Structure 1
């Protein structure tokens, strides 16, 4: 076999090797920015996801706190309203105690007034004795009535008045006539009294029907 020397074209020249190396380096450099961009995009996406998760948690926490705040405000308003109601109730009770301070005393002496009035209506065969009794009873009755008046306890007008169920208690009825129209008081059987605007006891009356 004849030995053949290799031709020049079978081996790359130094120039070709440099060109190939430069091309590889250029390709490598061109690919690096794309890889970095992808990595940066992935990092940014991951950061966005993390931020969204944090924001969602913060929004949920904020809604929870708002609910608790509204519940606390509602409880506060209810408690405040209850306190105000208690204050008003106590003030009304105290005002009533002051306003009707003489009620117990007035109620206690009303039976004495009734007895005195009955004594005045009683008759005696002894005129002198009767005059003396009447005079004494009248004085006592006058003093009692004056004491009641000073404490703003007054008789409830009844005779000839239009029947008022808030002031009068009808214990008997009689037919109405010209002098006593229907629903008017014909006779007072027991005097009623009131302390200011509070009825201590109603007048017991006979009413025309």
Structure 2
């Protein structure tokens, strides 16, 4: 019986030792996980800060170009506000230059305007704004005229070209 008690005592001590070891390892793992969570949180914060700075750096040239355009347009407005006799043709020419200035601004950012040269409507690069009935079936789904240019950036269409398309009229029998 004494042998049995010794055996149970040894088993109990072994269990207590293993539980102590397990508790120590568990506490160590918790500390490690807390440290790992802190590192992940710190890295996430740094990444968010980096992304914010990156967005600012990417947008700054565009913003500066817009500010420059605003300054130019305000200067023109002040100049023509002070003039007594305004040449309408010259003023129209200046107004017509505004879209060109803005297109140059977009071009510096990698955005290019386009007009499709194919006579047939291309739904991946064009959008129909108007239709024009035609009695000629051969003209069906061909471009009558381009109404607005399209714009693309790095090969991706940002805005399709706006077009007027011929639509064949149905023949009445």
Highest relative contact order (Cα 8 Å, sep 6+), 1 or 2?
A: 2
What TM-score do the two structures reach when normalised by structure 1?
A: 0.43
Higher strand share: 2
